[in-house]
Structure 1
Amino acid sequence: MRLYILSAWSILDPLYYSFTRLQYLKTKEQPTIFRVRLTRYKGREVVLSDGTMIKKNDVLVKIHLHNVQLLKELLTVNNDLRKSMILYKRVKESLPHLASYVYQHKDADEIKGIIGITLLNKGCTRLGFEIFTILSPAYNRFKQLALFPIYFISTTKRSTKEQKIPSPNYLFMSKKSLLEKYGNI
């Protein structure tokens, strides 16, 4: 079943990519796990630990994991802990390229930080992300349903009855933190 879903997703992914205005981070090495786009923030005001205040209409880089690529890498791994370690490593390897993208972007002065939404937030704080809950119950449920296929394919649990599907969270990192921590490519 998981292989069929992944195959269908592989076919639909190029369509999704074209409609979402996402772009790949260009590198000379292996492709990064991120696809990105600029966005204007529409959520509640957030103050990050370094004092950066994210307000409505601030420019952020929205990050999306390239799920098809990642899930293909994880397809043969039968241990959730090992999968988490691979994901952590791939994100960590991609963050310096994201820092370079932000630093070199023509709108770099406007960019205040990066944002993502994920069900998988273990290890995110070690990478420098700050986790915030999604307050809107409707948006939370929408994102939970939208991210369910990723969760279903990525977990080794054979039944959702075995484990409750986690709630999604916002991940933020200020531009300052990103460049200080990962800006030395």
Structure 2
Amino acid sequence: MNGALLTTWRLWDKIYYRCTRLCYVDQQNNNIFRVVIKKYGGKPLRSEQEVVVSPGDYYVKLHIHNCQLAHRLAGMTGEMRLGLAALKEVKTSLPALAKFVAEHPNADKITGVVGTTILYRGAQPLGFFVRDIDSPLVRWYKTFFFKLILSLCHPEGVARIYQKSDKLVAKRVFMSKRDLLERYLDDQPQT
């Protein structure tokens, strides 16, 4: 991504951030996540064993800070290298997310963490469940939006979108609060 485009994106991102209720999980340590606590209004999200998030539950809506991720991955080449680097950014940010959730004033009301992404291929080993988005309209919109972001971030730009367009479909990723805390709460880096 060229410098001028990244600068423009950063400016847009600051406006977007101010217009939403997003908050940083751990801005001092450049955590890749921004979140908002919301009431869930969709269909129940189920793992193989249980319902993780039901309508009316409070949950953490997870956002990857795409501008920051693009900046960190700038200059990298190779599909595998980019994917592994993005996965590493997510993995190293999960302990701070667990701490954020555990220390949140409404932690007892939060039932899970939910995100929407096209970067879901490495999510299951991290403890996330991956499901299709039920609404075709929402799936199309989210997929279009994430493809636009990918075309701006990826070194191959729009060509990357056309190469693997069928695999670039937005999906829901989610994890119960219990699983998040069990897996990641004690993994905080020592300072």
TM-score by shorter chain over 0.5: yes
Q: 1:51: how far off?
A: 2.0
Higher helix proportion, which one?
Answer: 2
Q: Is the aligned partner of 1:88 residue 2:87?
A: yes
Cross-structure match for 2:24: 24
**What is the CA–CA distance in structure 2 between the aligned matches of 1:182 and 1:17, rounded to whole Å?**
26
Counterparts in 2 of 1:44 and 1:34: CA distance versus 1, 3 Å: same
TM-score, normalised via structure 1 length? 0.92
Please state how far the C-alpha of 1:154 moved relative to its aligned partner. 3.2
Which consecutive residues of structure 1, in runs of 5 or more, have no partner in the other structure?
Answer: none
- 1:44 Cα deviation after fit: 0.8
SS in 2 for 1:62: strand
- Runs of 4+ that moved beyond 4 A: 1-4
Checking the alignment, whether the CA contact within 8 Å between 1:38 and 1:61 is kept in structure 2 is yes
1:5 matched residue in structure 2: 5
Amino acid at match of 1:14: K
Is the contact made by 1:80 and 1:156 (CA closer than 8 Å) also made in structure 2? no
Aligned length: 184
Alignment CA distance shift 1:145-1:96 (3 Å): same
> Are 2:44 and 2:51, in contact at CA under 8 Å, matched by a contact in 1?
no
Cross-structure match for 1:180: 182
Match of 1:133 in 2: 132
Q: TM-score, normalised by structure 2?
A: 0.89
Paired position in structure 2 for 1:161: 162
User: For residues 71 and 53 of structure 1, do their structure 2 counterparts lie closer, same or farther at Cα, with a shift above 3 Å needed?
Assistant: closer
Query: Quick check: 152-161 or 42-51, which moved more?
Result: 152-161
Q: Which amino acid aligns with 1:87?
A: A
* 142-151 or 123-132: bigger deviation: 142-151
Aligned counterparts of 1:181 and 1:96: Cα–Cα separation in 2: 8
Q: Which runs of 5+ in 2 are unaligned?
A: none
Match of 2:151 in 1: 152
Partner of 1:106: 105
Q: Is the 8 A contact 1:27 1:97 kept in 2?
A: no
For residue 116 of structure 2, give the secondary structure of its aligned residue in structure 1. strand
CA RMSD in angstroms comes to 1.8
CA distance in 2, matches of 1:68, 1:32: 12
One-letter code aligned to 2:185: G
Shift of 1:94: 0.7
Partner secondary structure for residue 39 of structure 1: strand
Q: Aligned equivalents of 2:57 and 2:149: distance in 1?
A: 29
TM-fit CA distance, 1:27: 6.3
- How far is 1:2 from its partner? 5.2
Opposite residue 182 of structure 1, the aligned amino acid is: Y
Aligned equivalents of 1:14 and 1:33: distance in 2?
Answer: 15
